[in-house]
Structure 1
Amino acid sequence: MLTQRDLLFRLAQFAALFLMACIGLFDLASGMADSGALVLLQVPMAIATAAVWLPRHRQGSKRLPRTALILAVCSLFLTVVVASSTSGYSGGSYGLAETVGLMGVLFVVCRRGDPQWAVGAVLALGMALGFLPLRSGASYEMVIIGLVQGLAATAVIGAGVYLRMIESTRNRAMDSVRAEQRAEFARDLHDFIAHHVTGIVVQAQGARFIAEQDPKRALIALEQIEAAGAETMASMRRMVGVLRDPNASPDAPLTPLAGVDELGPLLEQFTNSGGPLARLHVDGSTAGVPVEVSTSAYRVVMEALTNIRRHAQGARVADVWVRRTPDWLLVRVANDGLPPRAAAQREAPGYGLVGLQERVRAVGGRITAGPGIDGGWVVDAALPLDQEVTR
């Protein structure tokens, strides 16, 4: 299924191809076809440029700049052949379609190409664009046009590098948020394991002392130890998959665990600090919710309330629903304020939501955020109580 972004990309591709086709027809109508066999080389060159810039290329592609370098060398060779011929293009079009195509290739190389190979490809493409007007003769006008095309190529290079830097900066910021979220998981896991292991040790010590006096009580203690150990191991298996950074500092500050049972004080603090009236609605028991699910639900609500305070203009009420089903813990946070403006989103991208997505996906859940049907903004999260339901 095509997304809106994919659809816009396809439409832009179609528009660019249509533009190149129209320019190619203009080239043929303005005298290029009179050059005889040379046009058989010019038309494939224009088509080859479209074949390079048209597909989507992954970031850092090595094949892209290599192909562009070969294309630029072929274009320069064709320019030499046409300029040294006796007929040339006799003042006709020197190849505007190929020019547009080379500009597109230059932009894509700067935007996506591997830096090591992109430098040589960019230099070769700039030379090809600067010398291409000489196919219509080495007159003063063609030299000026070549210089203008060189300046245009410089602008295209700047645009490609600028967009590349923006994407790189955003990716670094998102990676930093994800790393912080994984570190937070590590701290939560540390606290959780410490809590349960301490309980296991205390119960084991007690069972040792009462084993001789009251064997039945010792058996109960052993059952509790077994249950606590099984719960600890299950949570460890679910949470350890997100701890991908082996260089994380072991001295990172630890924070106490907060889960769904602490949502009441959180909402009360939110309201008392000058925020909208926060109301909590709980459907079902929250007892026995896995700790990683409970803490993730708490963080979803906390981040959503933070965004309400920052972005929900005119919000009077913030409702938090927590519903437990046999397989899922469902969390919804909604407010009645105005949705965030697009301009504000561009100025301050929501990296908090990126962190929440990383955390929720780590426990096998799903999260969405968007305008509500009746206005305001709604955040929905579905967290599985049993990992089997997500398989």
Structure 2
Amino acid sequence: MSTPDLRQWWVRLAQAAGLVAIGLLALFDLRFSRPQSMADLVILLVRVGLAVATVPLWLPVHRLGSRRLPLAALALASTSLAVTAAILVLPGGRYVLGGGSWGLAESAGLIGVVFVVARWGAPRLAPAAAVAAGLAVATLPLRSGAESLLVIFGLLQVLAAAGAAAVGLYLRVMAAGRDRAIALVRAEQRAEFARDLHDFIAHHVTGIVVQAQGARFVAEQDPQRVITALEQIERAGAETMASMRRMVGILRNPDAPPDAPLAPLAGVTELAPLLSGFNGTANAPARLHVDGDLFGLPVEVSTSAYRVVMEGLTNTRQHAPDARTVDVAVRRTPDWLLIRVADDGASPRTAPARGHGFGLIGLTERVRALGGTITAGPGVAGGWVLDAAFPLRVAR
């Protein structure tokens, strides 16, 4: 049984127990009450009716911030107070109780009303409704008299109502904190998806630009290559637009699940198609070198490693048009996943300044969040090298 189902089962069990308790207390009230007149009988039936009337208020599961709930609780509490006043004012009214219960079922029902009002009621109306219901509970023992013992019972019922209100407020605060945590997770996840989408679009847009430039130069000499380039441009543009539409759809819907697919969250096992697409749009062929089994990696490590390779290939295409080869090396050890993207371009490059886009800066944040390291700079033999290392044991 899942956690939500188990929680719902416990709620239903508590509601059933409450119904049984209200029913038994109502029978107790009827058993020990001896009305002597028609007025006494009417008051007795009204008291039992008030106990029954509390059930529709605390039994259902209400919507948070409900306005009907505190309004109904105010009406019920006012009616209970009016009945208490009538018993005190009418001649012989207290004899209705005949030394028995003052209305235990009604007391229990009103305490339940205090709880649900504090838990689910609208913030502006809930305090007044809870206070009114608590006052009604406190004055119930006065229906039997003003002796010190009855006053003590009234105080005990006030404490019970205060405890019910405290529990309701506690659950309300806990639920609000859980909702805020969920909202924060969704916001962070959307920011993460935005960075992924930036990398994905940047990779395809640079490829589109390179293909368009190449098609312009070979248009007269080899028209067939122009057609191939246009097909690749169309495919990359369609994938980019589809990812953007998914992103916009998710951002417009605040209730969307945080794990909704926005962009292709590929992993290191999908590096071969990535390099194949790069080779179709770049002058320098990319070669993949794999050492170790890449299956079974933590998903956050696998997708982040894929983003590192994508960023490295994108930077090579943008900043090293004279590169002749690009080597992508992926090595898995028992404790680490090592990624290297190295080209032999001779064009001078510098690391991007902090705050300039989400490319290498956002990727650095992502790698460090997993406990890894990432460096980018000139290689010993020339060119440019992007290195990343992901710890596998920490990730798990």
- SS in structure 2 of the partner of residue 3 of structure 1: helix
Q: Does 1:20 align with 2:28?
A: no
Quick one: structure 1 residues 241 and 300, their matched pair in 2 at CA, closer, same or farther if it must change by over 3 Å? farther
- What is the rounded CA distance, in whole Å, between the counterparts of 1:70 and 1:146 in structure 2? 21
**What is residue 299 of structure 2 aligned with on the other side?**
298
Show the counterpart of 1:43: 48
Shift of 1:114: 0.8
Structure-1 residue corresponding to 2:224: 216
Identify the match of residue 99 of structure 2 among 91, 101, 122. Answer: 91
Aligned residue number for residue 131 of structure 1? 139
Distance apart, 1:239 and its partner CA: 3.2
Q: In structure 1, what is the Cα distance between the partners aligned to 2:178 and 2:124? A: 22
1:236 correspondence with 2:227: no
CA contact 2:267–2:303 (8 Å) conserved in 1: no
Could you tell me which residue of structure 1 aligns to residue 71 of structure 2?
66
Displacement, 1:210? 1.3
Q: Tell me the SS of whatever aligns to 2:100.
A: coil
- Aligned residue number for residue 12 of structure 2: 10
Q: Could you tell me how far apart the structure 1 residues matched to 2:253 and 2:18 are?
A: 43
Structure 1 length-normalised TM: 0.63
1:120 and 2:128 aligned = yes
Partner of 1:178: 186
Q: Structure 1 residue 39: deviation in Å?
A: 1.0
Alpha-carbon spacing, 1:261–1:216, altered in 2? closer, same or farther (3 Å): same
Q: CA deviation at 1:163?
A: 1.2
Unpaired segments ≥5 residues, structure 1: 247-256, 265-277, 283-296, 304-316, 319-378, 380-391
CA contact (8 A) 2:268 2:302 kept: no
Structure 2 equivalent of residue 187 of structure 1: 195
What is the identity, as a one-letter code, of the residue corresponding to 2:18? A
Which secondary structure does the structure 2 equivalent of 1:202 belong to?
Answer: helix
- Does structure 2 retain, via aligned residues, the 8 Å contact 1:185–1:243? no
Classify the secondary structure of the residue corresponding to 2:125. Answer: helix
Residues 24-70 of structure 1: per-residue CA shift (max 9 Å, x gap): 11111122555322111111100000111001101111111111111
Q: Quick check: 1:155 aligned with 2:156? A: no
SS at match of 1:243: helix
Using a 3 Å threshold, how does the CA distance of structure 1 residues 175 and 44 change in structure 2: closer, same or farther?
same
- CA deviation after TM superposition for structure 1 residue 302, in Å: 7.9
- State the distance in 2 between where 1:28 and 1:20 align: 12
Partner Cα separation in structure 2 for residue 96 and residue 233 of structure 1: 67
**Deviations 1:112-151, CA, capped at 9 Å, x for gaps:** 1111010110111111011111111222222221122112
Q: Which amino acid aligns with 2:14?
A: A
What amino acid is aligned across from residue 173 of structure 1 in structure 2?
A: A
Classify 1:258/1:48 alpha carbon distance in 2 versus 1 (closer, same or farther; 3 Å): closer
- 8 Å CA contact 1:130–1:146 kept in 2: the answer is yes
Q: Could you report, residue by residue, the CA deviation over 1:67-91 in whole angstroms, capped at 9, with x for unpaired residues?
A: 1111111110111011212222232
2 CA distance for matches of 1:180 and 1:115? 29
User: What is the number of residues matched between the two proteins?
Assistant: 269
Return closer, same or farther for 1:301/1:210 CA change in 2, 3 Å cut-off: closer
Distance in 2 (CA, whole Å) between partners of 1:181 and 1:54 is 37
For normalisation by structure 2, the TM-score amounts to 0.62
Cα offset, 1:300, TM superposition: 9.0
Q: What is the distance in 2 between the residues matched to 1:140 and 1:160?
A: 30
Inter-partner Cα distance in structure 2 for 1:12 and 1:158: 18
CA contact (8 A) 1:258 1:298 kept: no
Q: Structure 2 counterpart of 1:96, which letter?
A: L
How far apart in 2 are the matches of 1:227 and 1:7?
51
Deviations 1:165-187 (A, max 9, x none): 11111111111011110111111
Post-superposition CA distance 1:288-336 (Å, at most 9, x none): xxxxxxxxx9339789xxxxxxxxxxxxx99xxxxxxxxxxxxxxxxxx
The two structures, once aligned, show a CA RMSD in angstroms of: 2.9
- The residue aligned with 1:56 is 61
| Partners of 2:301 and 2:60 in 1: CA distance | 38
Partner residue, 1:31: 33
Distance 1:11 1:280 in 2: 49
> Residue type of the partner of 1:222?
L
Contact 2:32 2:100 in 1 (8 A): yes
CA offsets 1:196-243 (integer angstroms, 9 cap, x no match): 111101111111121122211111111111111112122222333222
